[in-house]
Every structure is written in structure tokens, then in C-alpha cells.
Chains A and B, each alone.
Chain A
Amino acid sequence: GENVEQHPSTLSVQEGDSAVIKCTYSDSASNYFPWYKQELGKGPQLIIDIRSNVGEKKDQRIAVTLNKTAKHFSLHITETQPEDSAVYFCAASQGDGTASKLTFGTGTRLQVTL
């Protein structure tokens, strides 16, 4: 089955700096790569996703890049703010055509310091 590795496990940046989280996946058939943000005591929330036919996608301060050849994808957050502090999960889909079963990475705890 699919295996998703995520690095780093913790990341501390100063407010205004950029943060980058990287993930690799093993199944070359995976074609959907979402990122989730989880705040303390809450469920994960989808913040951005990318499909295999696109190399990069941006949404305001957040961007995701995908390298299918190398089987890795990354989350970039620019101009970080204290409210960006959370745990971030990457995931990859090995959908069977009727359900998008996601395999998640182990998470990155991002702390934005003042």
C-alpha cells in the first residue's frame, strides 16, 4: 500500500518568515495530494490540495508543489502569522474510483513565534 513520509516533525519559525514542509509518497498511482491543518482539540481541515496533472498551486500565502517524477510534494507558507501555528498533515490518495482513501503523513507541528 501507499506510504507517506513527512518532514520535519516540528518546525519553529519567526513571524513573517516562510515555512516549508515536505512529503514523499511511494505509490506512483497516487494522483491527489491534499494538505490539512489541525488546531488543538479540533479535526483536521483541508487548506489546499493538488492533483497530479498540476505542478504548483497557490492560494494567498499558501502554495503546494508536486514533483511526480521524484514522488514528493511540499507545502510552502509565506509571511507566517501566529494563527498559522498548528499541526499540518500531508496525504496521498490511492482512490479506487469510488472513494478517495487517503494515506496521511505523521504530521508537522508548526510554531510561529513573535
Chain B
Amino acid sequence: NAGVTQTPKFQVLKTGQSMTLQCAQDMNHNSMYWYRQDPGMGLRLIYYSASEGTTDKGEVPNGYNVSRLNKREFSLRLESAAPSQTSVYFCASSANRGHYGYTFGSGTRLTVV
């Protein structure tokens, strides 16, 4: 099983450009999440989707939008990238309903110049 797949792995954007980070899981998990990881700040929740058809804001949602396309796919969009969005982005999924452990993807390293 592939688990959680993120694309792309690396990306460089110019300030003001837009892009979409893709995430797909093949474990039939209900919930999916987007986190960003910055040095010394751990992982911070951007948005999450508790189940297909629902999305909710996390701790740091400003500047981002998400789409739960179907049960497998959860995308993160930056409409107008800013240098403050330079980070490593991780997608994760969980089965919930008593099984709370996350499975993470391998991350997308984004640099905004």
C-alpha cells in the first residue's frame, strides 16, 4: 500500500503565484489533515476534513483554501503565495472512530521567493 501520497515533493514559487498541493490516501480513512512544519514550531494544523464533504479551519488557515475532492483526495491551495508560507507541508489521514493515529505523507517543501 502507498499510504499517503503528496505531490509535488519540492516547489519554488514567486510571491503572488498560486499553486495546489495534492494529497491522496489509499487506506479508506475518513479524516484528512494539512499541517505545516516550521523550525522550532512543530507541526501546526492548517485545515482538516473530518469526513468526505466537510472541511474546517485549523490553527493557521489564513492564506490557504482546501478541497476534499472525494474520500481519497484532499488538496491545499495557495491563492497568492507569500514568503511567510515558505514551509514544509504535510498531509495526514486517520480512520477516527476509535482509531486516532495519523499516517503522514512524505511532505512538500515549498519555498516562496
Contacts and interface: CB of A to CB of B under 8 A. Distances in A.
Interface of A: 1, 4, 6, 9, 32, 34, 36, 41-46, 49, 89, 93, 95-96, 98-107
Interface of B: 4, 30-31, 33, 35, 40-45, 48-51, 58-59, 90, 92, 94, 96, 100-107
B101 A34 contact: yes
B96 to A, nearest CB: 6
Nearest to A90: B42
18 contacts: A4-B42, A41-B106, A42-B106, A43-B104, A43-B106, A46-B101, A46-B102, A93-B100, A98-B96, A99-B49, A99-B51, A99-B96, A100-B94, A100-B100, A100-B102, A102-B45, A104-B43, A104-B44
B45 A101 contact: yes
A107 to B, nearest CB: 6
A106 B38 CA distance: 9
B101 A44 contact: no
B31 to A, nearest CB: 4
A43 B94 contact: no
B56 to A, nearest CB: 8
A2 to B, nearest CB: 10
Nearest to B45: A101
Nearest to B106: A43
A25 B2 CA distance: 33
Contacts of B35: 104
B59 A1 contact: yes
